Every structure is written in structure tokens, then in C-alpha cells.
């Protein structure tokens, strides 16, 4: 058994799709739209088979998480780059694109080499080997 996809509510569907396509190499499906409910979505596919569904619908409450305080549930998306150098390069690229850095590339206590940034809507993105 495998996880088929992860879904993420977003406020700005096009901006978030463009962010994950540009910086993480996702390939976007054609947009889905339910005109009756206002629901819209894209599936983003990645080379390893992972998929991320980005969804937008009127009336969805804003995320209560912040860089200082988190709530139960979704914590972060982690992307593996393959090397420490690539972790550093992608971290620099994301910072140059205006993404907020929470944790610079470092070796963690559980032996991960990673950095942590926020995506355009404040979701935590972990960049690792």
C-alpha cells in the first residue's frame, strides 16, 4: 500500500500551483472546476510518483498555524533533493524568490540534513537530502 496523494487547501490556487511547479518540478494536471460549489483543484505530479492536490473553495477558514505556533494536523511537506549541496541551492533559490526561511540548512539531532521555509501561504516546506 502507498499514499496516493496529499491534498492541501489554498487561498490562491494559481499562485500555489505555479510555486510548486517552478520550484519543485511538479507537473500540473488540467484544472478541475465544480461551478455549482466553486471548488477548483489541480493535481501536481512529481517524478517519483508522488502527487499533491491543491484545492480551493469559497468559505474555507484560514490556516491557524504560524512560524511560532502550530496546531494538530498537517505539519509540513518534505522534498528530497539528493544531496546537501542541492538542499543549500534550493534553499537559496526559495529565499531569493521571497520565501521566509525558518531554519537554515543544518544537520538535525535525528541525522537529517535539512532546511525549513514557508511557501507563499505559510505552509512549512522541508528541504532534505
Phi, psi of 102 (to 5 degrees): -95, -35
Q: Is the pLDDT of residue 71 over 80?
A: no
Averaged pLDDT score across all residues of the chain: 94
Q: Do 39 and 2 belong to one domain?
A: yes
CA–CA dist 44, 61 (Å, integer):
23
Q: Is the pLDDT of residue 86 over 80?
A: yes
Asked whether 11 and 54 are in contact (CB, 8 A), the reply is no
Q: Do 88 and 35 belong to one domain?
A: no
Q: Do 43 and 83 belong to one domain?
A: no
Q: Do 93 and 54 belong to one domain?
A: no
Using one digit for the tens of pLDDT, what is the confidence trace for 11-20? 999 999 999 9
C-alpha cell recorded at residue 105: 540548512
Beta-carbon contacts of 5 under 8 Å, excluding residues fewer than 6 positions away, are: 43, 50, 51, 52, 53
Identify whether 44 is part of a domain. Answer: yes
Q: Say how many domains are in the chain.
A: 2
Range of the domain at 101: 75-128
Identify whether 66 is part of a domain. Answer: no
CATH value at residue 14: 3.10.180.10
DSSP string, 65-78: --SS---SS--EEE
pLDDT at 70: 80
pLDDT at 67: 76
Using one digit for the tens of pLDDT, what is the confidence trace for 111-126? 999 999 999 999 999 9
Amino acid at each position: 500500500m502507498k499514499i496516493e496523494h496529499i491534498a492541501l487547501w489554498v487561498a490562491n490556487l494559481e499562485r500555489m500551483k505555479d510555486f510548486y511547479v517552478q520550484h519543485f518540478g511538479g507537473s500540473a494536471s488540467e484544472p478541475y472546476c465544480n461551478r455549482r460549489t466553486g471548488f477548483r483543484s489541480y493535481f501536481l505530479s512529481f517524478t517519483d510518483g508522488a502527487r499533491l492536490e491543491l484545492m480551493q473553495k469559497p468559505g474555507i477558514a484560514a490556516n491557524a498555524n504560524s512560524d511560532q505556533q502550530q496546531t494538530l494536523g498537517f505539519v509540513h511537506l518534505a522534498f528530497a533533493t539528493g544531496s546537501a549541496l542541492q538542499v543549500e541551492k534550493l534553499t537559496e533559490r526559495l529565499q531569493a524568490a521571497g520565501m521566509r526561511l525558518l531554519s537554515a540548512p543544518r544537520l538535525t539531532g535525528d541525522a537529517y540534513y535539512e532546511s525549513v521555509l514557508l511557501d507563499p501561504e505559510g505552509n512549512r516546506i522541508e528541504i532534505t537530502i
